[in-house]
Amino acid sequence: MQKMLIEGGNLLNGKVRISGAKNSAVALLPASILADSKVIIEGLPKISDVDTLNLLLEEIGGTVEQRGQTVHIDPSQMTAMPLPNGRVKKLRASYYFMGAMLGRFKEAVIGLPGGCYLGPRPIDQHIKGFEALGATVSNEQGAIYLRADELRGARIYLDVVSVGATINIMLAAVKAKGKTVIENAAREPEIIDVATLLTSMGAKIKGAGTDVIRIEGVEDLTGCMHTIIPDRIEAGTYTIMAAAQGEKVLIDNVIPQHLEPLLAKLREMGIHIEEGEEQLLVHRGKNLSSVDIKTLVHPGFPTDLQQPFSALLTRANGTGVVTDTIYQARFKHIDELRRMNAQIKVEGSSAIVSGPVQLEGAKVKASDLRAGASLIVAGLMADGITEITGLDHIDRGYANIAEKLADLGAKVWREDMTEQEIEQFQNS
């Protein structure tokens, strides 16, 4: 096990290139199951979630060849191999194997998904969609069993706007007989990305990116080549880091429209940002003003950026209120920020941040992926050295983050933990 160390106070300068979207990759890889020939996906991020999904594809008989950031997947010999435990437990997005395997094989056995714990995140809307398409679903000994004699298109209204349920139902419906209509669908860019891949494979999908998606089922899907979109959450995280501790940082390979809610709030704080077609130039602001944010489904402020943004607010003048309407348990990072002298209190589903304060380096623990990002933001601003453990969470979503920050001028490095540190970490 390793820990990350950051010597704070160093200004960031230069250019950072954003990787492919994690939240697309974790759906695009399972989607390849639906094809009858080779699928090539370009621009994949070098993160542990991608490695885990590639191994799962191999478990069910796929041939997976990774060439840099491009993966070649031959799904022709895949079978409906049960995946009850093991790697499935490592990430929540393993649930996309349900929709993909159900769509191709009309059956699947998938263990209940793992990943970061952010409070209750039921998959009832996924199951509702599968059942509407004609599948029977049961929970047996901690695994979900899905079976169908055939899948038939249906009109499905999602009671809660859910990215996962929207994509999973799409995966199951593209080879169902007849027309499927998903109402109250999520509208995130990653859904459009998955729909683009499926369309390139021969699926007939209309309305991706709106709240009503229409799918006309087809009998066969073929292999294709697809380039993943840039990761808007990684781009947003580096934009926040540049706002917090950057002098002049160019963020490359980004779609600025995907970051509009964040950019609006940063400008409201006093950060100067120049937009290009695929780039952002962020200038460090002085005398920042605090703002309030409320996370909402897309196109509102993303819940995945709430945690790193709350660290930035410690630099701002006044009091800012951060309200998370998506995951109300997403405040585990607050106690860690307090260890670094942050003045924050949690009231219900809101965190109240008072500033400005000078953060102090401390030993802290990442409890989930975006909590880890918030601690890195804090470490860059802090006086002294910050030690961050729980890097397995960070590695799930940020490719080569220590190297990218070092290239910008940050003093950041990784070290192996001692046996005593590992024991303390496991017991904490």
CA distance 328 to 330: 5
Are 191 and 209 contacting, i.e. CB atoms less than 8 angstroms apart?
yes
Tell me: cis bond preceding 356? Omega within 30 of 0 counts.
Answer: yes
Q: Amino acid letter at 395?
A: D
H-only helix segments in 382-418: 391-395, 401-407
Q: Which candidate, 416, 423, 361, places its Cα nearest to that of 391? A: 416
Helix (H/G/I), strand (E/B), else coil: 29: helix
Q: How far apart are the first and last CA of the chain?
A: 15
CA distance 351 to 360: 20
Q: Which candidate, 296, 305, 303, 373, places its Cα nearest to that of 337? A: 373
Catalytic residue among 21, 35, 56, 116: 116
Query: What's the distance, CA 160 to chain centroid?
Result: 19
CA atoms within 13 A on the CB side of 57: 31
Residues 6+ apart with CB under 8 A from 284: 11, 242, 243, 245, 246, 247, 248, 271
* Annotation marks residue 116 as catalytic: yes
Helix or strand run (H / E) with residue 363? strand 363-365
Pairing of strands 39-42, 225-227: parallel
Residues in the chain, how many? 428
Are 97 and 52 contacting, i.e. CB atoms less than 8 angstroms apart?
no
Residues assigned a catalytic role: 116
